[in-house]
Structure 1
């Protein structure tokens, strides 16, 4: 027995001095340092510090606030979650686990309480891969030197590492950056007025790289002797970004200077924004600082600019210059090609969509007469549909005589050569379908082809139409609502358009007898697409019956100009001269 006492007193001092050899902190079980059979406990915390409710038998429990009448009033606190302690958290709590009920009384001391409850510096920085110590705040306020340490809700003594506790300090033999940072809690027992309390304090541990500011200063930007482009009259920012070796107390300084005419001995400190710290990379931290040139002038281009970075060990610098930015005008390099491309593309699209109309315009206005027309049997192929007379039409077919305010003489049209100025025209009311053949054949001497008169019956209508168009110099269609609703008449017009597109020497003229009424008619079935597009671009005249004599005279003059040249004169020289004056 005595031998055992001797060995104990021999080994104990050695253990205290070499606590990092093994895990010698007393292992605690039960209520975070309390005996398992203890169901009533009292905890104290300091206002403003982190606090965590104790777990029971290493099991996670939820503590609920007890009202004065014995019921739970909430809020509830999980023993695995930290929260900042406030005076309002003081009170009685209860939890259930393993069939047992536990009670806890929490008292949060205000910051203005006696010195033992004053909050103090509760953050400790430890160097990575080195040994370190974590002190328990206000350790000297109690004669009880027995301190139990926890990281979160887990006792440090239960961790697989080599810590030990001595004189209220938690000794860590080797600090690890991946596992040791966090909040640690130290519990110690204090007795006041015969009541035992567990006084819990919190310490935040940060792990920092173990190095001194001995490495080089690395400039990320700008590069030394670089040139930055600026715009005259605009604001420009000079940005300097530097990486410094990590140091516990930052002494990094970054400044911008302007060197007049490139002379580094004559430097002026530039206006700067406050430095920005951060972006730790491994064992370095960065500092960014910007200098502001409110308005760049020509004078700024003559100077150089130096960024000087320094700490307690060394300093370094980079120098840059400014040059006028070459303004790349969009119209020069991008605009002109882009506009040209869009223009060509637009023209291509228009040509693709409007190609047929363009062909019709060209062939009907510029190509007629380029082919040999001597083998044509007819001068004009006239296509029309008989329409019932209307009141307006009847009025239009009553022509003026030589007397009255709107005579041909007043309209500037020679009365002797007016096709309507005949006794037959005055006495008879004739529609244009009757009048036009008389004028073309009898007065103007053209060889006219009418299907009902000049084409032998019994043949195929389509073949007769196509052959007649091929044998004619010109196709004239008298358009009206009835014409566009007649499939046979529309076929004649469509065949004429196709002949015109096939490099035929035929000339095509449209005469609208009632354009307004035709535009209001919805054809069923609708007109062929070829016809619809041709109606928009082919040469056309409007029959102006019922209008002033001048308008009627202009119609005949325009029609005479549009007619092809005929080889046989059927009119006298006097008539020909009068016609030329009339036209």
Structure 2
């Protein structure tokens, strides 16, 4: 809602004009365009007994073009009206003007001047707040005296002469100002509002001058100092004092004396020290010699930017109960009198919690051990057969001794077709026995080789299976013959029912590719099955032969002749050719 002098709506304008002219005071505020700014008003409640929350103010501004704007009637997310302040998110050049309120609050009119942003605000003299201090005095530069902008989450960066100086500190504190501290200090506060970031900036020009009157030397630091130590350990306590600006540092040292005293009273008592009391039994600490065998002190004189400081360091050697009971005092004496500071030693409580370093190391060791154990288990599972075979070889164990068995295994080929599966037959009846007997030293019973011609086949099968420690079944593609079927049923009955023999099933042809799959074969566990994988299984040190050896009876291997090994290799190379 805009009202001009020509518009005829003079009542509101006269009220606003009256508010401006009736106020004896006006406050001028400066802001930078594009920044967040809070325009504060000094107000008081005209309606006695009315809560501030019930007061309804109307805010108005007269722009530089003499237009009166009712801000309360303007719907804008950029301008937020409070009880005694107006927030701009952000402030623009058009916001310049005189602001006042009409209603229940009586506020001092405020003139807002919004200045155009320059490239480097830290060099803009129109925004500099001049501060002039004395060398050697303490001082603070505050970024937000009223805490308007730093009451919630914010970040702040300080610049000195346009270079980054400090971060995340609202106040820059100087214990003792030096000439090098002079300069322009600029702060930039960053806030987040409605998902967008806004800045607030300001700058202080710090100039320094020499003191017009002598400054009393003093010990730096406020209050007494408590130091926690462990009994029996050494501890250093440092006491620093400002003693003047004179170029003649030696003269200042002569006029200012510093020393350490240990009080002869309990810490529990009231801490006070009378330098003029000749009856006290306090102990003066001696200056250190080359070899420090007992508590002593050292001193040094420093000069920086015409400021002279004196530091005396107390070296407590092998702290004991007396050091805990009786506090130490740092005393500065000069023509102005004396000044002291107490240093109270207390026993450090033992911390039984695990330190961060120890915890980190323990976790690292635990994780490393856990990973190592998992890797070791995986390796052992993968190389289980190799490890067991190595153990058998090293131990020389022989479980065949005294078992009254003649053969290590009875070999049964479950396909006796002479016309089909010739390679399968060659593998089962020639290659397999040759490798197991000649290379590994086992003794096998092969029906087609070892049975006496013309004998009772059924009786011979039962007899030879009874004399064998293992039953090796080799699967072929063709249908199982009657004799082979009887061998299978007899062997499986003794293995699975009578528990007299263990079965080794060699899948030269996988079960899934067989024409006929017997249910009895599917009952065998996978641990008793060995799968022929073509060329991968040719080497005698492949997993195929190792697993057969792992399933065979435990007995020492007989050394194989070179001729037998070469012959076995020739047989393997001849398979599938």
- Same-fold status (TM-score > 0.5): no
TM-score (norm. length: structure 2): 0.33
Give 1 or 2 for the bigger CA radius of gyration.
1
